[in-house]
Structure formats: structure tokens, C-alpha cells
Chain A
Amino acid sequence: MQASDIAASGPAALTKPRLEAASPRYGEKLVIGLLAASAAISVITTTAIVVSLLVPSVEFFGDVPIKDFLFGTDWGPTFTPPTFGVLPIVVGTLSITFWSLLFAVPIGIASALYLSEYASPRSRRFFKPILEVLAGVPTVAFGFFALVFITPQLQKIWPGFLGDGPGIFSALAGGLAIGLLIVPIIATVSEDAMSAVPNGLREGAYALGATKSKVASRVVLPAALSGVVASIVLASSRAIGETMVVLLAAGNTPNLTLNPVEPIQAMTAFIATTATGDIATGTITYKTVFAVALLLFLMTLLMNVLSIRLVRRFREVYE
């Protein structure tokens, strides 16, 4: 019914307008249902991950006491007799993460400060894509680079007074490669935080006669601190979860040591080496893999929650 029907009828014949829905629009309701189902998929995925990790782990801890797992120092689940002390591979992961942060944190924060406070627009247009490309390099390339470039170079320049240099595999080689890999994370997130610092704060310091270096280090960096810390947490989480680089460069020998030149095995490397697809469901090896994966998942989840809180905090301060 067109409105012209109402207009034409005049005051005498008041035709009632039809205000109910012209059709039940089932098609639309179906589509909206499908949209909701798509959104549910992410919830389902998380549930699936948790379930797939929990079920074998629970069975695992039925056979292996948690204390032996978490605090044992002997990791040999595929040996006979198998030992399940996870500390060596946890320490391996943490050692690599430490060396990677040692490299990436100063480089990343300094790069962020440079881009945020010093870089000319032309400079930015050059360096930002560099960081983006670096972020897009596949991890197998980083692993290969560590194996065939970093390790030989390290061996070449290793100063004698530090003792033996690294062998084919070492925590340091893996750590440096991962460090390069995570520099973009620290640099871009920190730079976002620094850009969010209001210009008024900088101008106030400049007005007092401060130099640029003072403004950058005493005003901008502290102001962006929670964002910077968030970036470091995010980068650590990424380093902890990295597989290919550690697999190719750090070795596959569980080794409870913090010595960077020794080969170690990270948790991810253990999972990748052991879960090669022909392991049978239900075997102790299978369950071990998932127990380690659960530990890995919890570690990264914790760090992720932490970094979200930090990001929220630095946003709240300025908005």
C-alpha cells in the first residue's frame, strides 16, 4: 500500500495504514543465525583447543605425578625407562626467550623512539615498511638464517676468553634469530604507545629548555611505559611459542642449562619433533606431548592476559 493511497483518500475516508511487517522475512532471520554461528566458531575453537589439550593431559597426570613433571630435571619421555621432568625444556624455552629479549628489547624500544621522536616523514616511509617486511618473513627462513649464517658467524667472532664457542646448535643462535623476529612487535606496539602520548607533555618540557634526548627519555618513554611493557610481554609470548627457529637452530637435546653456547631443547621443539603425525592416540608419548602443550598454552595465555591489561591501562590514562 503506497502512501499516495492515504493522501488521495482525503479526510472523509481514513484508510488505516498497514504497519505490520509485509512478510515474515525468514530469509533474513536465517542469515542472521548464520552470522551468529560464524561468531560462535571462535568460541568453539577456544573450547576445542582447551578440550584437546586437557583430556590427554588429565590422563597423563593420572600416570605421572604433577610434582615429578613440573619439578623433575630429567626429560626423556621417549626413552626406556621414560623420565618426565619437564624443567630442562622449560628452561630451554626460557633461556632462548631471555637471549631474544636481550637483543630485541633495546633495539625495539630504540627503534620505536627513533620513529616516534626523531624520524623525518621520509625516514618513516622507509623504515616502517622495513619493519613490516621483517614481521612477514616466514619462521623457516629465520631458522635457516640462524643455522647457516648466525651460527658460523658466531663461531668466527667468538672471543677466546669466553671459552668454547657455540656448536652447530646453540641457545644463543636461536635466541638471536628470534630476537630479530620479534623486534617488529616491540617496535610497532611501543611506537603506538609513544604516539599516544599527548603533544602537550612534550611541549611543556621543550618550553623549559629540555633537549630532544631528554624529552624522549624522560617524558615520552615513561609516559608510554605500560604500552612498552605490553609490547615486551607480547614479544615474549611470541618467542615462547616459536617453533621453527628453535627446531633448526637451538637443537633437540634437553639440557638443563643457561649456558647460551650449548644446544638445548625448547618445549615447542619437543612437540614438533615428537608429534609427527604417526604417533598413536592414547600412548604415553601422545599424552606427554599434550601435557607439554598444555603447559605452553597456559604460559602464553597468562602473558596474553597480562599484556591486554597493560594495553588497557595505557589507553585509559590518555582517553
Chain B
Amino acid sequence: MSELTEERFSEKTDAEEAPPAPGERAIAVQPGRFHAAGDISSLEKVFELEDISVSYGDAPAVKDVTLDIYKQEVTALIGPSGCGKSTLIRCLNRMNDLVPTAKVTGRLLYHGEDLYGPKVDPVQVRKLIGMVFQKPNPFPKSIYDNIAFGPRILGMKGDMDEIVEKALRGAALWDEVKDRLDSNAFGLSGGQQQRLCIARCIAVEPDVILMDEPCSALDPISTGKIEDLMMELKREFSIVIVTHNMQQAARVSDRTAFLMVELDSTEQNRWGRIVEYDATEKIFTNPSDPRTEDYVSGKVG
């Protein structure tokens, strides 16, 4: 933990040296706690989205999303409810396939490969791109079996005890549960269950972790623990997080995409669109689009 605080202090010093932008607006986020997003040209792209649109049957959910997600960064998707953030993130691991009426158009590249290509197996995709859900969903099994489920299914080699311990350490849960690995996962608190789900996810050693509002069902202390965890995790994994909590996005992410709701003329259909996508620091201190500014300063949404 102290390691992380040190990192933050060094970033804070960096930001204080930068001159304040003219007419800086009051943002409800502590200045200087932004993470230095790297220079784009040197970064490796994990996802490349081109005109991605998703609709459920006739009802559009999200339209014309074009952005790139970079390796070993935390990318946040923020916006008011109904703007399609969850729909969008579920495209990245093909979870939308499970909804019969869902239709995805556009191009989605993962490390240069078309994620929706004809020969692509969604099961393989999900082994590489993991997901943590809004409400913790541990299996009705022991803590050990929860973690071991993925590696067993995937036929991972190695000592299962070691794999489980490594995953639980990686999710900052080992010390709390190491003496009761055989007890039922339902006996854990909400925050512990969510960290268990994170451990379960990283046990299969994915490349990317998607998080769909992982803290919205948790208390502030558990939320803080998981946010700290994210900082650790991004050393190994690329993380995409959906959150309706702006301050959280400002705290944890390197890059932020802001989506807004659009209505059609009859006001029957609503869908989401990307308004702005940039380094988190820029989004929260000096956004280019007035709509972004209205949202992050709390005037709307």
C-alpha cells in the first residue's frame, strides 16, 4: 500500500509544476491526482474500435464508436445511465453474443485481429479478455473451487494450490481467506466477494480485464480497496472500466471516454455516442467539448 501512495505523491508533484490552464473551472476532483497517460505514438493498441454500433433488435443502444484502447492502461467509460457503456464494454469480450437479439456492426480489432471474424471462437476470446460484473457473482462453491474453476476448465498446467494462492494474492484477498479456502464463497462480505471475482478472473491469466461498474454495489471502504487493486493490476493487465462515478474515473483511469445519450425525433429510441475520448487529466480539467465539461462539473447527468 505504501508503494502506491509514493507513486501518487510523485505524480502530484509533477502536476503542480504545470501551469494552470486559463479560466480553469472548478472540478470536484482533487487536482494533481491524475495518472500520466503515455504518449500515444509509442503505445501498443489492445483494442481498435471503428464505427462500432450495437442494437438490440430494432432498438439502437450505442452508435458509431471509434476509439483505441491501449495496453496496460486503465481506460474508463463514463456517462449518464442509458448511454450504452455496458453494452459497449460487453462487445469487447463478445458477451453480447449471449443476447439473441443483439447485433454488432463495425470493426473491432484485438491486437490487430478482427474480434468478430468468421473463424473466431467467442470462448477463446473470453479466455483472453476477462470480466468482472457489477454485482459480485461468486459460484455457490468453496473459495478454492471458485478460483480453480477457470484453470480447471481451461486445462491449465501447474499446481492448483499455487495458482489459487497467486490469484488470491493478486486480488489482495489471500491474507483474509487463506485459512478458510474450503468455506463457501457466499459467506464473504460484498467487497470480499468482488475481490474473489477479480481473483477468479485473473486466475486464468487473461490479457485484458473488463470491469462493468465493479464497485457500484459496494461500500466506500471496499470501493477504495478495489481501486487500489486496480493500480496494481494494471501492471500486468489492460483494464477497461465502466463507471457512473466520475470521481472514481478520475482517480483510477489513464484515459477516459465520455458517452452521452441521444434521442431520436419521436423520443422513443435512445442510444449512446462517444462525445470525447482523451487522457483523463484533460477530460477532467480541460475538456474540449462543452457537453463533457457540463457532465464532469456536475451540471448535468
Q: Mark out the residues of chain B between 93 and 144 whose CB falls within 8 Å of any chain A CB in the assembled complex.
A: 110-113, 115, 117, 119-121, 123-125, 128
**B124 adjacent to A19 (CB under 8 Å):** yes
Chain A residues near B115 (CB-CB < 8 A): 19
**B121 adjacent to A14 (CB under 8 Å):** no
Chain A residues near B71 (CB-CB < 8 A): 7, 11
Choice from A4, A17, A22 contacting B113 with Cβ under 8 Å = A17
* Bound CA span A20–B123, Å: 9
* Bound CA span A21–B71, Å: 24
Choice from A7, A14, A17, A20 contacting B236 with Cβ under 8 Å = A7
* Bound CA span A20–B128, Å: 12
Q: How far is the CB of B204 from chain A (nearest CB, A)?
A: 8
Q: How far is the CB of A26 from chain B (nearest CB, A)?
A: 14
The total of chain B residues at the interface (CB under 8 A) is: 24
**B111 adjacent to A4 (CB under 8 Å):** no
Tell me if A2 counts as interface (CB < 8 A to partner B): yes
**B123 adjacent to A3 (CB under 8 Å):** no
A3, A11, A14, A15: residue with the most chain B Cβ atoms closer than 10 Å:
A3
Choice from B44, B113, B205, B236 contacting A19 with Cβ under 8 Å = B113
**A16 adjacent to B111 (CB under 8 Å):** yes
Choice from A2, A21, A22 contacting B205 with Cβ under 8 Å = A2
Choice from A10, A11, A18 contacting B124 with Cβ under 8 Å = A18
Tell me if A70 counts as interface (CB < 8 A to partner B): no
Q: How far is the CB of B96 from chain A (nearest CB, A)?
A: 16
**A17 adjacent to B121 (CB under 8 Å):** no
Q: How far is the CB of B1 from chain A (nearest CB, A)?
A: 24
Q: How far is the CB of A126 from chain B (nearest CB, A)?
A: 33
Q: How far is the CB of B274 from chain A (nearest CB, A)?
A: 25
* Bound CA span A14–B128, Å: 15
* Bound CA span A16–B44, Å: 13
**B44 adjacent to A11 (CB under 8 Å):** yes
Tell me if A6 counts as interface (CB < 8 A to partner B): yes
Tell me if B160 counts as interface (CB < 8 A to partner A): no
B112, B121, B206, B208: residue with the most chain A Cβ atoms closer than 10 Å:
B121
Tell me if B42 counts as interface (CB < 8 A to partner A): yes
Asked whether A21 and B206 contact (CB < 8 A) given A14-B44, A14-B111, A14-B112, the answer is: no
Q: How far is the CB of A293 from chain B (nearest CB, A)?
A: 41
**B205 adjacent to A4 (CB under 8 Å):** yes
The total of chain A residues at the interface (CB under 8 A) is: 16
**B120 adjacent to A6 (CB under 8 Å):** no
- The A/B interface has a contact count, at CB < 8 Å, of 52
**Mask: chain A, 251-276; 1 = CB below 8 Å from B; 0 = not:** 00000000000000000000000000
Tell me if B43 counts as interface (CB < 8 A to partner A): yes
**B125 adjacent to A19 (CB under 8 Å):** yes
Chain A residues near B44 (CB-CB < 8 A): 10-11, 14
Chain A residues near B112 (CB-CB < 8 A): 14, 16
**A3 adjacent to B124 (CB under 8 Å):** no
Q: How far is the CB of A15 from chain B (nearest CB, A)?
A: 8
Least CB separation from B204: chain A residue: A3
Q: Mark out the residues of chain A between 47 and 106 whose CB falls within 8 Å of any chain B CB in the assembled complex.
A: none
Choice from B43, B121, B206 contacting A20 with Cβ under 8 Å = B121
Tell me if B207 counts as interface (CB < 8 A to partner A): yes
Chain A residues near B123 (CB-CB < 8 A): 21
Q: How far is the CB of A316 from chain B (nearest CB, A)?
A: 22
Q: How far is the CB of A227 from chain B (nearest CB, A)?
A: 31
**B117 adjacent to A19 (CB under 8 Å):** yes
Chain B residues near A3 (CB-CB < 8 A): 128, 205-208
* Bound CA span A239–B72, Å: 71
Asked whether A11 and B42 contact (CB < 8 A) given A19-B121, A20-B124, the answer is: yes
Least CB separation from B125: chain A residue: A19
**Mask: chain B, 200-212; 1 = CB below 8 Å from A; 0 = not:** 0000011110000
Chain B residues near A6 (CB-CB < 8 A): 111, 207
Q: How far is the CB of A13 from chain B (nearest CB, A)?
A: 10
Chain A residues near B120 (CB-CB < 8 A): 19-20
Q: How far is the CB of B113 from chain A (nearest CB, A)?
A: 6
* Bound CA span A18–B121, Å: 10
**A21 adjacent to B128 (CB under 8 Å):** no
Least CB separation from B110: chain A residue: A17
* Bound CA span A19–B109, Å: 11
**A20 adjacent to B119 (CB under 8 Å):** yes
Chain A residues near B110 (CB-CB < 8 A): 17, 19
Least CB separation from B124: chain A residue: A19
* Bound CA span A17–B47, Å: 12
* Bound CA span A150–B134, Å: 63
Asked whether A17 and B42 contact (CB < 8 A) given A6-B111, A22-B124, the answer is: no
**Mask: chain B, 30-49; 1 = CB below 8 Å from A; 0 = not:** 00000000000011100000
Closest 6 pairs between A and B when the two form their complex, measured CB to CB: A3-B207, A21-B121, A11-B44, A19-B120, A20-B119, A17-B111
Q: List 20 A-B contacts (CB under 8 A).
A: A3-B206, A3-B207, A6-B111, A7-B71, A7-B72, A7-B207, A10-B44, A11-B43, A14-B112, A16-B113, A17-B113, A17-B128, A17-B207, A18-B124, A19-B110, A19-B124, A19-B128, A21-B121, A21-B123, A21-B124
Extra contacts, 5 of them, besides A14-B112, A18-B124 (Cβ < 8 A), are A4-B205, A6-B111, A11-B42, A15-B111, A17-B111
